Amino acid sequence: MRTPDLTTLRDRRVLITGAASGIGRATAVLAAADGAALALTDVNAPGLAAVTDELKAAGAEIIHSAAMDITDLEAVQAFAGQVHGNGGSVDVVMNIAGISAWGSVDRLEHRHWRSMVEVNLMGPIHVIETFVPPMIEAGRGGWLVNVSSAAGLIGLPWHAAYSASKFGLRGVSEVLRFDLRRHGIGVSLVCPGGVATGLTETVEIAGMNKDAPAFRKMHARFVKRAVSPHSAARSILRGMARKKYLIYTSPDIRAIHFAERVAPPVYRLVMRVFNAGMTRVAARAGTR
């Protein structure tokens, strides 16, 4: 079975997690403008209500919108029951919700490792196991989008816990891109670099004083290079329409991933320099 034409989302039923802010919100806005019927969720109830009201006021069709924690399988199943009871299976599943925490291995706590895996890996798995089988049964094909990260492609410093979850989601996606092909369901793995979302302010960095001048300077450089959520969302929808498996949202990540594959010595040098720079920032920023 061929995958469906997604050059337009008009009349497509689209599920988006993490819809209250950042890339998820921007994707919901663009998908609605393209005519999609949306099922929206996020753990942030007020933020989700705000974007839902905004989209309804603009004339968007909202299949269902409800706050939930994607780490709670029963909550995901209940949400799916509402969505499927209102018109059947969805055509597109977009796993965008996620959290972030960084830190050197001697500073990371067990809660950091566990929360990364529970939200960024088990959360999307809960969505996949609940929404993809009905897509298969419906026989219309469809598309699955999993938002991983640059940290799901390369060895970014201090990202061990985060990368554990994002490399895991990459592995799930790599298998499903072939397993689901016979059902006409395509898969896209999105690997953003810097995106100027609220996570840039709220990310927890174990053992680092985020108010220190050295950290604030590094943060300012990061934000300056980061793309907007709207730009990232546009890259995702464009990549899906072109039936791309691997979707980058910025050229720097495309370049370093290319170097990793075809010029390993260059990649190793870049990552060692990057790691040394992070170590210097940590030393200057100190700890709380």
State the angle between helix axes of 123-138 and 160-179 in degrees (0 to 180), rounded to the nearest 10.
10
B/e letters for 12-46, b = 16+ CB within 10 Å, e = fewer, are: bbbbbbbbbbbbbbbbbbbbbebebbbbbbbbbee
Tell me how far apart the alpha carbons of residues 198 and 195 are, in angstroms, rounded to a whole number.
Answer: 9
Could you confirm whether 162 is annotated as catalytic? yes
Residues 284, 278: Cα–Cα separation, whole Å: 10
Residues 12, 140, 81: CA angle, nearest 5 degrees: 70
| Distance between CA atoms of residues 273 and 106, nearest Å | 20
Closest to 90 (Cα-Cα) out of 61, 122, 120, 53: 61
**Of 162, 245, 248, 267, catalytic:** 162
Catalytic residues: 162
